[in-house]
């Protein structure tokens, strides 16, 4: 009895192991398939819908892996560096690109992209930046805009927010005369504060890395830029040193603050009566200037094909199709700002999206974050000290000095 029981158990175990091993192997599948990793959000949703459509037309089974922003980067980093080939098409935020393209982890495009893509969006698809081969196609054209209450600027005869000085004057006036704060900045550490600060830093002629790639935040210009941000902070709601994008937009939507730097993803909400108390009152301008002409930060979503993919040809067919003018127009109607000039300029879209001219102008001069694989680490360190300065526990000089030290250490370690 015991003997027969043992035999049964052994058989069962063998069966289990066999099943496990079979699961690991590749089953031969007659219908071709594509696995696509997208951002869980409006950008990803549009791509998901497009992919299903393409799959039907091309007899391809589409699998979509939808991941939240931070998670997406982590998964891509692991998949690309270990070449597991879990994904055939990946959606990337442009600051991730220098890290993800490292070590040949993305496949170069079989041919250079054609047509009227906006230059700034194409440049970030190349490795090295601007000059090298293309490893991705730009899918969503994002760059910052300056959101401001046109009605209040008119009411108090304020000059349009072309310079940061004019912004400060307007913030002072509106805070004094209306029951609201004069401005809303965001200074939670990490991406939030760095994104809000970059256009100010650039307008003051500052940089994170100089032309030789050395840290350059601790300069007269850098300190002046941070001082301006803190000055703006005096008119921002208390606690803004913990704010992220959603708090900034909540203040605009609730009419408790009249202006901020913001991303195009929030434009639709401003004009949505269900969410907004300021429908039609907000105008979208270029990021203000100071010593230099204002430049927005670029945040373009890219599509690429990992080197580990076993379906590269089909993957390239799909991303070429998804970024062609016709599809991009459909994606624009689903809420994704395009990366092609012709789509921005098409008459019917311009009528539907009143901010398109401003978005196009912003994209054409927008500037990407420093093209370095160490960006996440630099942004983290820089963000901590910017946030501390905004919270008031460090002077601008001290914050820039500490940030400089920290960024120097990061670069030194990577050598």
Partner 1 sequence: MKGRLPWIAPAMVLLLALSIFPLIYSLKLGLKPAHFERMFHDRLFHIALWQTLLFTALALIAEFVLGLSLALLIDGLGRAARLFRAGLLMPMLLPPVVAAVAWRLIFNPQFGVLNGTLKGFGLDTSHLTWTNGEGAALLCVVLVDIWEWTPFLFLLLSAGLQSLPQEPLEAARVDGASWWQTTRDITLPLLKPVVLLALLLRSMDLMRIFDQIFILTQGGPGFATETVSLYIYRTAFRFGNFGYAAAMSFVMLAITTVMARSLMRVMKTK
What is the chain's percent helix, strand, coil content, to nearest 5?
A: 50, 15, 35
Instruction: Select 152 or 403, whichever has its Cβ closest to partner 1.
Output: 403
Distance in Å, CB of 360 to partner 1, minimum: 32
Interacting residues with partner 1 (CB under 8 A): 2, 6, 9-10, 13, 16-17, 70, 73-74, 77, 81, 99, 187-190, 237-243, 247, 250-251, 254, 256, 374, 376-377, 380-381, 384-385, 387-388, 390-394, 406, 413
Closest alpha carbon to 38 in 5, 9, 76, 79: 76
Instruction: Select 113 or 373, whichever has its Cβ closest to partner 1.
Output: 373
> Could you tell me the two tokens for 264?
């195009």
Instruction: Select 52 or 70, whichever has its Cβ closest to partner 1.
Output: 70
| Phi and psi based region of residue 115 (left: phi greater than 0; alpha: psi -120 to 50; beta: remaining) | left
Distance in Å, CB of 187 to partner 1, minimum: 7
* Counts for the chain of helices (H) and strands (E), in that order: 18, 10
Distance in Å, CB of 77 to partner 1, minimum: 6
Within 10 Å of residue 283's Cβ, how many Cβ atoms? 21
User: In whole angstroms, what is the distance from residue 129 CA to residue 281 CA?
Assistant: 39
Ranges of beta strands (E only) in 2-87 are 33-39, 61-67
Distance in Å, CB of 9 to partner 1, minimum: 5
Instruction: Select 185 or 332, whichever has its Cβ closest to partner 1.
Output: 185
Instruction: Select 243 or 353, whichever has its Cβ closest to partner 1.
Output: 243
Closest alpha carbon to 34 in 14, 57, 12: 57
Q: Measure the CA angle with vertex 368, ends 408 and 198; round to 5°.
A: 65
Distance in Å, CB of 76 to partner 1, minimum: 11
User: In whole angstroms, what is the distance from residue 18 CA to residue 12 CA?
Assistant: 10
Instruction: Select 12 or 279, whichever has its Cβ closest to partner 1.
Output: 12
Closest alpha carbon to 109 in 127, 95, 129, 130: 127
Distance in Å, CB of 13 to partner 1, minimum: 5
Distance in Å, CB of 2 to partner 1, minimum: 7
Closest alpha carbon to 36 in 81, 82, 98, 79: 79
Instruction: Select 2 or 211, whichever has its Cβ closest to partner 1.
Output: 2
Pairing relationship of beta strands 282-285 and 301-304 according to DSSP bridges: unpaired
User: In whole angstroms, what is the distance from residue 29 CA to residue 104 CA?
Assistant: 28
| Phi and psi based region of residue 113 (left: phi greater than 0; alpha: psi -120 to 50; beta: remaining) | beta
Distance in Å, CB of 241 to partner 1, minimum: 4
Instruction: Select 191 or 362, whichever has its Cβ closest to partner 1.
Output: 191
Cβ–Cβ under 8 Å, residues 334 and 45: yes
Q: Backbone phi, then psi, for 143, in 5-degree steps?
A: -155, 160
Distance in Å, CB of 247 to partner 1, minimum: 7
Instruction: Select 49 or 376, whichever has its Cβ closest to partner 1.
Output: 376
Within 10 Å of residue 393's Cβ, how many Cβ atoms? 11
Within 10 Å of residue 110's Cβ, how many Cβ atoms? 12
Instruction: Select 22 or 59, whichever has its Cβ closest to partner 1.
Output: 22
> Could you tell me the two tokens for 255?
């009419």
Distance in Å, CB of 376 to partner 1, minimum: 5
Pairing relationship of beta strands 282-285 and 259-262 according to DSSP bridges: unpaired
């Amino acid at each position: 009895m015991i003997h027969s029981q043992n035999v049964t158990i052994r058989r069962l175990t063998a069966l289990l192991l066999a099943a496990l091993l079979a699961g690991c192997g590749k089953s031969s599948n007659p219908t071709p398939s594509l696995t696509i990793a997208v951002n869980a959000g409006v950008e990803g949703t549009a791509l998901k819908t497009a992919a299903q459509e393409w799959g039907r037309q091309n007899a391809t089974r589409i699998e979509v892996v939808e991941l939240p922003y931070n998670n997406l980067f982590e998964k891509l980093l692991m998949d690309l560096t270990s070449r597991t080939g879990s994904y055939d098409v990946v959606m990337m935020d442009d600051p991730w690109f220098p890290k993800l393209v490292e070590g040949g982890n993305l496949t170069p495009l079989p041919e250079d992209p054609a047509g009227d893509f906006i230059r700034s969006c194409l440049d970030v698809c190349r490795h090295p930046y601007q000059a090298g081969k293309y490893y991705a196609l730009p899918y969503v054209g994002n760059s910052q805009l300056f959101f401001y209450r046109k009605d209040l600027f008119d009411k108090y005869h304020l000059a349009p927010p072309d310079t940061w000085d004019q912004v400060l004057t307007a913030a002072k006036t509106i805070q004094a005369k209306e029951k609201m704060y004069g401005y809303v900045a965001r200074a939670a550490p990490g991406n939030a504060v760095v994104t809000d600060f970059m256009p100010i830093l650039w307008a003051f002629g500052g940089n994170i890395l100089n032309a030789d790639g050395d840290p350059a935040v601790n300069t007269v210009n850098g300190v002046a830029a941070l001082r301006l941000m803190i000055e703006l902070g005096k008119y921002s709601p208390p606690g803004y040193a913990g704010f992220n994008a959603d708090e900034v937009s909540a203040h605009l939507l609730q009419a408790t603050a009249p202006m901020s730097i913001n991303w195009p993803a929030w434009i639709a909400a401003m004009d949505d009566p269900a969410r907004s108390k300021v429908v039609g009152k907000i105008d979208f301008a270029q990021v203000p200037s100071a010593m230099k002409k204002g430049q927005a930060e670029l945040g373009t979503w890219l599509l690429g094909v990992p080197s580990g993919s076993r379906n590269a040809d089909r993957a390239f067919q799909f991303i070429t199709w998804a970024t062609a003018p016709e599809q991009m127009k459909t994606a624009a109607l689903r809420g994704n700002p395009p990366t092609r000039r012709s789509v921005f300029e098409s008459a019917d879209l311009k009528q539907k999206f009143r901010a398109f001219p401003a978005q196009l102008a912003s994209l054409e001069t927008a500037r990407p974050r420093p093209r370095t694989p160490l960006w996440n680490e630099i942004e983290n360190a820089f963000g901590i000290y910017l946030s501390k300065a905004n919270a008031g526990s460090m002077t601008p000089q001290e914050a820039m000095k500490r940030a400089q030290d920290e960024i120097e250490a990061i670069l030194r370690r990577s050598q």
